Each structure stands twice: as C-alpha cells, then as structure tokens.
Amino acid sequence: MPVLPHINTPEDLKRFSLPALQELCDELRAFLIDHVSANGGHFSSSLGVVELTVALHYVFNMPADKLVWDVGHQAYPHKLLTGRRERFHTNRLLGGISGFPSMEESEYDAFGTGHSSTSISAILGMASAAKYRGDDTRQHIAVIGDGAMTAGMAFEALNNAGHERPNMLVILNDNDMSIDANTGALQNYLTGLTTDRHYNALKARVKKLLSFNGQQDKWPVEMVRKLEKIVKAGLLHYSNLFEALNIRYFGPVDGHDLKTLMSVLERLKHIPGPKLLHCITEKGKGFAPAMTDKAKWHATGTFDKTTGIRVANATTAMQPVTFQEVFGNTLAELAKKNERIMAVTPAMLSGSALTRMKKEMPERVFDVGITEQHAVTFSAGLAADGLLPFCTIYSTFLQRAYDQLIHDVALQQLNVVFCIDRAGVVGADGPTHHGAFDIAFLRCVPGIIAASPMDLADFRHLLYTAQAGIVSGPFAIRYPRGAGYGTLAGDFEQLPIGTGRKIKEGKDIAILSLGPVGQYAVAACEELEQEGLQIAHYDLRFFKPLDEVLLHEVFQQYTTVITIEDGCIAGGVGSTVMEFMVAHDYHATFKRLGLPDTFATQGTQQELHHLYGYDKEAIVTLIRKLSSNNKHNSKIVSNGMLQHS
C-alpha cells in the first residue's frame, strides 16, 4: 500500500514502521521525478535529502520545533510532507506555492530562504529567543549544504553560536556541490574528514567494540567521550574546525541510511548546546542522469523521465541565443586579445556561462564560492594590481556585496567591470531572486558607469567598451535572464560613454526605455502606427551618466514622456529622468512604467511584465488613453500594478 497519500502532516509519519518509511522515501523520489519532469524546477538537491527530510520530521516535532533550510531549493520533500502535496503542481507558477520555504505559505516554514548561508544565523536567533524565555525543550535545526558553508556569514553565525551556546543543531549536508562543484580549502577539509584512512579505520574498530553483545549503552560516558575526542582530533591529522568553535561535532554519517539517521537524530535531541552533524549525501540520488551530471540537473526544465532527455521549448527554440551565451562567448573572445581580463564568479560558473573561458583559460577564471562580498573585494584587489576583473554576479546577489562595491571599488575608483546577470524579473524563482533594485542602488554611487543593452549586439559592444581602456573606475552592465534580440554579426563598436540612441521619430509622445524591455516599446510603436499614432522611441542605454543631449531633445519636442524599465520604479531610471526634467524646468505629462513598490511575485518573465504593467499591451493601453485625453497640463504619475477589469 502506498504511504505518501496518507501523509498530510509530519505527525502522520510516526504511525508507520521503518520499512514503510523507507518505502515512503522511494515514493517521494518518484513523485519528484514525475512532477519536475513535467513542470521543471530545482531537482537534484531535493533528491539528495529525501531520507534526511523524513528522518527530521519523524524525530522532531515541527512546527513546534524550528527547522530552517538553507537556500531552500532542497525543500521539496519537506513541502510534500507538510500538507502541500495536493498543491505541488502549482510550484513556482504565478499564484502557486513558492519554490523556496516561505513563512507566509506554511507554519512549517520557520524562516523564508532563497539566498545562501542564512540558516545558521536565523536558527541561532530562534534558539537564543527560546533560551531567553527559559524554554529548554524546543529544538532548533538548520540544514546547510557544504557549498553554503563556504560563505562568511555561516562562520560568523557558528562563531556566535559557540559563544552563546543555545540548544541548536546544524546539519551539514555534504554533497560536494553547490550548483557547480565546490571549490576552496573548506571543501578539501570536509573531504579530508570523511576520507582519512586513520579516522575510518579507528571508527570501524570503535564501533565494533562499542557494539559488542549490544551492550554499548552500558559503557561509561566518560570513556565514550574520550574515545570520541581521540577519533575527532588525535588521529584525523586535522584539528576539528567546528570543535575549535565550541560546536560539538558528530559524524560523518550516511545521509541515505534512514535507520541510522533516525537513531542519531534521536540521540542528538537530548544533547544540550550547539551541535553539528556532518551528513554525507549524493545530489541527484535516485535519478541516474542527475547523479552523473549534478550541475546540469541542479535546476531543469521539462524532460523525459525515462531517458533524461530535455524537452525542447518552442519559445526558446525561436530565440536560441541568450544573454548568458553571448556574455560567455564574448568575454572569452575579448580575453584572448586582452591579457588583463580576469573573470570572477561567486559559485555561478555555469549559470553565468563562464565554462568556456574556464576551459580555455583556467588560470584567469576564479570561482570563489558562495562569497559575494569576497568576490567584489577580491576583484578590487585584482584591479588595484593592474588587472581588469569582470565580476560576474546575479543582481539579487550583488545586494549582499553593496558595501564592498561602494567602499572597496567605487570609493577607490578601481576599474572593476560588474556584469550583473539576471537583472529585472527572473521568473519562477520569485521574490528572493528578482533583480529589481540594482538600477536604484547603483545610480546613487559616485563615479560608476552603468548601462543596460536593449539587444545582443549592443551587449557585445558594451562588453568591448568596458575593456577598451577608456574607463578608469567601476563599469556596470545589467542584463536579464534568457533569450535576447537582434543579430550578432559585425565588428565590435566602442560606444561613447553616457550616450543613448533614437530608435524612432514621433509626435507629441516619447518613450524612453532602458534595456531589453525596449523591445516591447518597438512592438507597441508598430501597433500604434497602424492606428495613425506616431510615437517616438529612445533607447537610453546608459542610466549613469544619462545622455543629457538626448533628454534635452526629448523634453523640447514632446509634451508627454513615458519611461520603461525592468526594475523598481522607486529610485529607478524613470526617477532619474524626472529629476532631470525638474532640474531643467521642463514641463511634461510624465509616466513611469516598471515594478511597483512591492516585492514582485513568481511567474514567467512575460507574465510578470504583464502583471506589473510594462509589456506591449500595457504600453499600447496607456498611450491610447493619453492620446484620447490629449492633456497638456504637466502631471507626474507613477504606475502601480496593472488593473484588470
């Protein structure tokens, strides 16, 4: 009899035997494979933590006990066991459940996640709150991967936990991966912990000794602790890093051995203070293609669950060239001609398409791990010594390194090129991953040059311009996830800094666009022209510095101005243009299109552009209204969410 249909809350797990729970693990994997193959989503990470998830919910008492999943892309089994199985078909869809833990969505999600390395700090805060209230019974568990453990924030929290010493358990989910293979000294250390032959030989002998005649529980506690210390420190050839931080270390244990996990977790539940359980898992467990190519299957679109062959998407087939592909190929091409170019990425080697350059010039590509702050200051160091780093970082993750961008790069006017990937709405990953704020937080930084290409050809030209030797300080280029527009033929062109371009002449109304959403303006102008409306369109290209010659032309010729951007309206490029209008005493009816003052939800990029009112339909509707009203008085309006009747 299937078990999964009978699990609606974690409490239901406690009614089943170990063999039934092991069967449940198989059912969970089958469910995930069926669902993700049909709908896409994060995949291999969830397959790797099935047994761990079942064990946690069997041993502990969530939601009274608190469980935080770091990053959260591995939390699909957790969602299936906590009452969301029937809604799981809506995962990552507009109006559906989130692909990450969300406090708003379920009481079982003790803390919302999406960015890495936050779990230990959050669970430490909850454990400290319980300690303050005198509650020594509630359990606090953080599950963090070895990739996320490389970030400084994780160690800041461990250091603090060793000092505060509340009751908490950190589970180190060690699968030797983040998205791509992990890099750095910590990974070597963890590998050493699990593979040292002296450690493993003695561990086996001690286990045999303590298991003799099933009398291990009768051994004196002090003797067991002494043996534990010998194993952990004396024969490892390593000082135990976690023990040095005053965190009791346990493990490593097999993260796919459900019986052992349940037994170990039950014992750890009764040990006070901060503890760390080192758990070895395999990313992609149970699906052969994902076990073979872990990075490829971290997240996936639809695929044939029998063969593992990806299903072609008709939309992407029409536009096969992505901004990421153009970036990776262009940077490798430029680097062959410019020996100063270096590439830096915080654990997004494949996501940002740096694999070609890594293969061809491995000594010039630095994957620094999930360490955005370090990535920016490391890039500053390269620049200070005469090299030209292209620091490639997702917009949402650049938020984590804002101080370093200002203090270590901009203040010192160091020539770092920030390639800001996934700018604007990114789609199904939702509010934790949208690149909504970079225009607003970059335009106020003194001395920075910042641009966004409307098409792929302009993107190549901007990358070329950034390394052409005409810029001495920071240069930021923002670009979205996915397919671009235009052709790539022709030579590189050096673009004058701070210049835009006129796309189309018009009368009365002018559209000023920034970035690829300018393609919506092109389509809108074509449709409106069929109605006899001549709408001007300008591509700003740079949002710092602005093309003031272009703006003077616009405000001298047009009585109505519309700005469009794939980012937050508050402080965005529309605000910049409006400030220019006020400063030069121009008067015009002014409308800003972009993301309103809210955290954008999940959905496809096209769905979100429509929902928030800056796709072709929204532009056409607005211009028809403005044209019919024929207002000439000066008015400033900011849009909110598109209202549907």
pLDDT at position 579 is 98
104 and 168 assigned to the same domain: yes
As annotated, the active-site residues are 283, 372, 400
In a domain? residue 304: no
With respect to residue 519, please indicate whether it lies within any of the assigned structural domains. yes
Percent of the chain with pLDDT over 70: 86
- Say if residue 509 is in the same domain as residue 525: yes
Residue 391: what pLDDT?
A: 98
pLDDT band at 317 (very low <50, low <70, confident <90, very high): very low
Whether 509 is covered by a domain: the verdict is yes
Question: Mean pLDDT over residues 2-10, rounded?
Answer: 96
pLDDT digit string (tens) for 453-470? 999 999 999 999 999 999
For residue 631, the domain's CATH number is: 3.40.50.920
Whether residues 188 and 232 share a domain: the answer is: no
How much is the pLDDT for 151?
87
Distance separating alpha carbons of residues 132 and 326, to the nearest angstrom: 54
Q: For residue 192, is pLDDT > 60?
A: no
519 lies in the same domain as 597: yes
Question: Is the domain of 50 the same as that of 172?
Answer: yes
What does the alpha-carbon distance between residue 62 and residue 9 come to, in Å, rounded to a whole number? 9
Predicted confidence at residue 455, as pLDDT, reads 96
Q: Is residue 117 located within the same domain as residue 182?
A: yes
Mean of the pLDDT values across residues 591-595? 98
Which two structure tokens, joined as six digits, stand for 58?
Answer: 């069997």
Question: Measured between alpha carbons, how far is 149 from 347 in angstroms, rounded to an integer?
Answer: 12
Q: Is residue 493 part of a domain?
A: no
Closest among 615, 550, 610 to 577, alpha carbons compared: 550
Average pLDDT over the chain, rounded to an integer: 90
Question: How high is the pLDDT of residue 640?
Answer: 46
Query: Does some domain include residue 296?
Result: no
**From residue 243, how far is each of 440, 542, 624 by CA, in Å?**
43, 51, 68
- Say whether both 99 and 11 belong to one domain: yes
Residues 125 and 116 sit within 8 Å (Cβ to Cβ): no
Lowest mean pLDDT among 280-289, 339-348, 632-641: 632-641
Q: How many domains does the chain have?
A: 4
The 10s digit of each residue's pLDDT in 509-558 is 999 999 999 999 999 999 999 999 999 999 999 999 999 999 999 999 99
Q: Which of 173, 417, 383, 364 is nearest to 279 (CA)?
A: 173
- Give tens-digit pLDDT for 205-229: 555 555 544 555 555 555 555 555 5
Residue, of 324 and 237, whose pLDDT is higher? 324
Q: Do 227 and 125 belong together in one domain?
A: no
**Residue 623 to residues 261, 521, 526, 563: CA-CA distances in angstroms?**
62, 11, 13, 12
Judged against a pLDDT cut of 70, whether residue 452 lies above it is answered with yes
Q: Is 49's pLDDT higher than 50?
A: yes
Query: pLDDT tier at 133 (50, 70, 90 boundaries)?
Result: very high
* Same-domain pairing of 178 and 228: no
Q: Which residue has the tokens 């249909």?
A: 5
8 A C-beta contact, residue 295 and residue 318: no
Average pLDDT estimate for 334-347:
97
**Do 273 and 356 share a domain, yes or no?**
no
Give residue-wise pLDDT tens across range 347-384: 999 999 999 999 999 999 999 999 999 999 999 999 99
In a domain, 300, yes or no: no
Q: Quick one: pLDDT band at residue 203, thresholds 50, 70, 90?
A: low
Task: Determine, yes or no, domain membership for 298.
Answer: no
For residues 528 and 620, the answer to whether their CB atoms sit within 8 Å is: yes
Q: How would residue 241 be classed by pLDDT, with cut points 50, 70 and 90?
A: confident
What pLDDT sits at residue 194? 47
Other C-beta atoms closer than 10 Å to the C-beta of 305 total 16
Give the model's confidence band at 316: pLDDT under 50 very low, under 70 low, under 90 confident, else very high.
Answer: very low
Q: Write down how long the chain is.
A: 645
Three-state DSSP state, 541: coil
Whether 238 shows a pLDDT value over 60: the answer reads no
- Does residue 480 have a pLDDT over 70? yes
β-strand pairing of 417-421 with 274-280: unpaired
- Please say whether the beta carbons of 390 and 415 come within 8 A: no
Both 130 and 272 in one domain: the answer is yes
Q: Are residues 339 and 472 located together in one domain of the fold?
A: yes
Provide φ and ψ at 142, rounded to 5°: -120, 130
Tell me the C-alpha to C-alpha distance, in Å, between residue 501 and each of 25, 41, 393, 542.
Answer: 58, 39, 27, 10
Measured distance CA(475)–CA(46) in Å, rounded = 38
Work out the average pLDDT over 55-70. Answer: 98
**Residue 218 within any structural domain of the chain:** yes
- Residue 318: pLDDT band (50, 70, 90) is very low
Structural domain for 223, as ranges: 197-237
Cβ-based neighbours of 499, under 8 Å, separated by 6 or more: 541, 542, 547, 550
Provide the pLDDT for residue 237: 47
- With bands split at pLDDT 50, 70 and 90, how would you rate the model's confidence at 639? low
Where would I find the beta strands (DSSP E) of 258-323?
274-280, 299-300
- For residue 408, the domain's CATH number is 3.40.50.970
